Structure 1
Amino acid sequence: MLEQAPDEVQEIIEQGGVVAYPTEAVYGLGCDPDNDEAITRLLALKKRPWQKGLILVASDYQQLLPYIDESRLTNEQLNKVFVKWPGPFTFIMPIKPGLSNLLCGSFNSLAVRVSSHPTIQAICQRLGKPLVSTSANHAGEPPAMSCEEIIAKFDGEIDALISGSLGAERKPSTIVDAISGKVLR
Structure 2
Amino acid sequence: MHDDLKKALEVLRNGGIILYPTDTIWGIGCDATNEEAVKRIYELKQRTDSKSMLVLLDNTAKLASYVNDIPEVAYDMAELTNKPLTIIYDDAKNLAKNLIAQDGSIGIRITEEEFSNQLCARFKKPLVSTSANVSGEDSPQQFDQISEVIKEGVDYIVEFRQEETKNPAPSSIIKIGKGGEIKIIRE
TM-score interval, smaller chain: 0.7 to 0.9
Unaligned stretches of 5+ residues in structure 1: none
Work out the CA distance in 2 between the residues paired with 1:155 and 1:80.
Answer: 34
Higher deviation after alignment, 48-57 or 160-169: 160-169
Secondary structure, aligned partner of 1:65: helix
Work out the CA distance in 2 between the residues paired with 1:94 and 1:44.
Answer: 25
Distance 1:68 1:81, change over 3 A: same
Work out the CA distance in 2 between the residues paired with 1:139 and 1:35.
Answer: 21
Work out the CA distance in 1 between the residues paired with 2:74 and 2:18.
Answer: 33
Work out the CA distance in 1 between the residues paired with 2:84 and 2:116.
Answer: 12
Distance 1:77 1:58, change over 3 A: closer
Distance 1:62 1:161, change over 3 A: same
Distance 1:167 1:127, change over 3 A: farther
Task: Quote how far apart the aligned CAs of 1:142 are.
Answer: 1.2
Secondary structure, aligned partner of 1:176: strand
* Residue of structure 1 in register with 2:59 after alignment: 60
Task: Quote how far apart the aligned CAs of 1:97 are.
Answer: 5.0
* Residue of structure 2 in register with 1:93 after alignment: 89
Secondary structure, aligned partner of 1:90: strand
* Residue of structure 1 in register with 2:71 after alignment: 74
The answer to whether the 8 A contact 2:19-2:158 is kept is yes
The answer to whether the 8 A contact 1:20-1:136 is kept is yes
Secondary structure, aligned partner of 2:42: helix
TM-score, normalised by the number of residues in structure 1: 0.85
How many residues are treated as equivalent by the alignment? 179
Give the share of equivalent positions with the same residue, in percent: 26
Secondary structure, aligned partner of 1:177: strand
* Residue of structure 1 in register with 2:152 after alignment: 156
* Residue of structure 2 in register with 1:35 after alignment: 34
Secondary structure, aligned partner of 1:5: helix
Work out the CA distance in 1 between the residues paired with 2:54 and 2:166.
Answer: 20
TM-score, normalised by the number of residues in structure 2: 0.84
Task: Quote how far apart the aligned CAs of 1:157 are.
Answer: 1.1
* Residue of structure 1 in register with 2:119 after alignment: 123
Task: Quote how far apart the aligned CAs of 1:116 are.
Answer: 0.9
- The Cα RMSD (Å) is 2.3
Work out the CA distance in 2 between the residues paired with 1:123 and 1:34.
Answer: 15
* Residue of structure 1 in register with 2:173 after alignment: 175
The answer to whether the 8 A contact 1:64-1:130 is kept is no
Unaligned stretches of 5+ residues in structure 2: none
* Residue of structure 2 in register with 1:133 after alignment: 129
1:122-169 CA deviation, whole Å, 9 max, x = no partner? 111110121011000011111223333336232321011113336977
Secondary structure, aligned partner of 2:107: strand
* Residue of structure 2 in register with 1:6 after alignment: 5
Higher deviation after alignment, 28-37 or 143-152: 143-152
* Residue of structure 2 in register with 1:108 after alignment: 104
